[in-house]
Amino acid sequence: MVVTRFAPSPTGYLHIGGLRTALFSYLWAKKNGGKFVLRIEDTDKARNSEEATQAILKAFDWLGLEHDGEITYQSQRDEIYAKYIKQLLDEGKAYKCYMSKEELTELRETQMANKERTMYDGRYRDFHGTPPEGVEPVIRIKAPKTGEIIVKDGVKGDVSFQAEDILDDFVIARADGAPTYNFVVAIDDHLMGINEVIRGDDHLSNTPKQIVVYEALGFDIPAFYHVPMIHNSAGKKLSKRDGATDVMAYKEMGYTPAALLNFLVRLGWSHGDQEIFSMDEMIHLFNPEDINKSASIYNTEKLDWLNAHYIKNTSNDTLAQLLTEYGLVLTSHDKREILLDTLKERAKTLQELVLLVNEVLTTPHTYDEKAVKKAFKGNAIEVLNKFGAKLSSADELHLPVDYHKVMESVVEEMEIGFGKIGQPLRVALLGKLSGPGLDEVMSVIGKEETMLRIANAMTALS
């Protein structure tokens, strides 16, 4: 059974790259009928934040990425890590290093002066003498000094590391007993049954050290897939300006979970030329071996296009519920269907949809100067007067077509083009020349509000 995991450190927000890794891991587990588990790597007590942990869980809930089983917190597993540290010490695969900070600093300065790679020189590897006083030892693992460590990677192929170039006897427990990252990751992955690890390729350099831990403890080594980073359009690391922000900020900006997940799955993975994927399709088609070997490029325009697609294809009932989270309540509006059918074709985000709805529902008190100059000329006031009079005497005005017939009658009687009525009427109703169809606008706001806006405009602009 395939078991994958997502293991964030709660030292900040869940960013877009981390979410993509989580999505890939989720899809691969679900495709294989396996498990996707969540582990919070909170051993760094100085930097951990409970707020960050809750933000991660909130993001998963919003996106519908359900993990299997209970969440594992590394901070609650100190006894487990201590057990394995003792095991390695007892088996002679790890040792206590009494090197002081001053000695370590002196060694590094000497190595730098000699233009050598800075690394621990193994002076306590086979130490059997009397421990120096006043030094609390760290625990170091006995890493191989020669040979190569091969990471079998499903994305990059076999990646070879020369032991003497990358490994020294790295610390697995600090002087205060706190275990280190590469040590606890290997233990947790084994104990949690993780057999497929999908993560960013910034972790590739950690993998040889984790393999050393796996082998020292006799654990099976999982399959690895190291995913290339997401870059901006200039090929550089993502900044907040480019999109490397809190995942929940995407909700605040008005993106839908479906659009964001669809966008992320295409950052580094593809299935032919297909762009739109349902969650079921993602699960059915995804394979980490198809992940691109090169970095993917973040494209805001693509995200906006996808989001517009999902908004357009979301039912009005669902849209109305989503919009309540942005302060817009339409659930009982009698013309909700007409309003949303008209405007969801024009919106890239839910926030933009809110603005468009409010532009229709809110009586304008100011008018765009350029629009007024273009629309209110010639007999514009006369045309609006004529249209207002016909509205006043008209009955059964409910649907857009009802209002359109009134406009047609004015056009015919005055022998004018539709633009002669459409432009001044649009400015009167919306305060500008852009916007949805006038028939739909009038149907939504109703006869009385339409007449009020026309009267206001003629008073203000005549």
Q: Which residues is 73 bridged to in the sheet?
A: 40
The pair of structure tokens assigned to 181 is 């990252």
Cβ contacts of 415 within 8 Å, gap of 6 or more: none
CA 198/CA 3 separation, integer angstroms: 11
Q: Is 268 helix (H, G, I), strand (E, B) or coil?
A: coil
User: Is 432 labeled as catalytic in the residue annotation?
Assistant: no
77, 80, 85, 89 alpha-carbon torsion, rounded to 10°: 160
Neighbours of 212 (CB within 10 A): 24
The pair of structure tokens assigned to 20 is 């993509």
Q: Is 140 helix (H, G, I), strand (E, B) or coil?
A: strand
**In terms of DSSP bridges, do strands 296-297 and 230-231 run parallel, antiparallel, or are they unpaired?**
parallel
Rg (CA), the chain: 32
Nearest Cα neighbor of 125 from 158, 154, 167 is: 167
Residue with tokens 């999908």: 198
> Where are the alpha helices (H) located in 68-219, listed in sequence order?
78-90, 101-113, 163-166, 181-191, 207-217
Cβ contacts of 91 within 8 Å, gap of 6 or more: none
Q: Phi/psi at 442 (nearest 5 deg)? A: -65, -35
- The sheet with strand 94-97 has its strands ordered as 94-97, 138-141, 171-173
269, 290 Cβ separation under 8 angstroms: yes
Query: Which residue among the candidates 83, 86, 145, 240 is catalytic per the annotation?
Result: 240
293 assigned binding-site residue: no
CA 442/CA 451 separation, integer angstroms: 9
The angle subtended at Cα 286 by Cα 161 and Cα 189, nearest 5°, is 45
Nearest Cα neighbor of 143 from 129, 116, 159, 162 is: 162
| N-to-C CA span, the chain | 76
Neighbours of 334 (CB within 10 A): 10
Q: Could you say which DSSP state residue 237 is in? A: B
**In terms of DSSP bridges, do strands 196-200 and 223-227 run parallel, antiparallel, or are they unpaired?**
parallel
Which residue numbers belong to the known binding site for ATP?
240
Active site amino acids:
240
Which residue numbers belong to the known binding site?
240
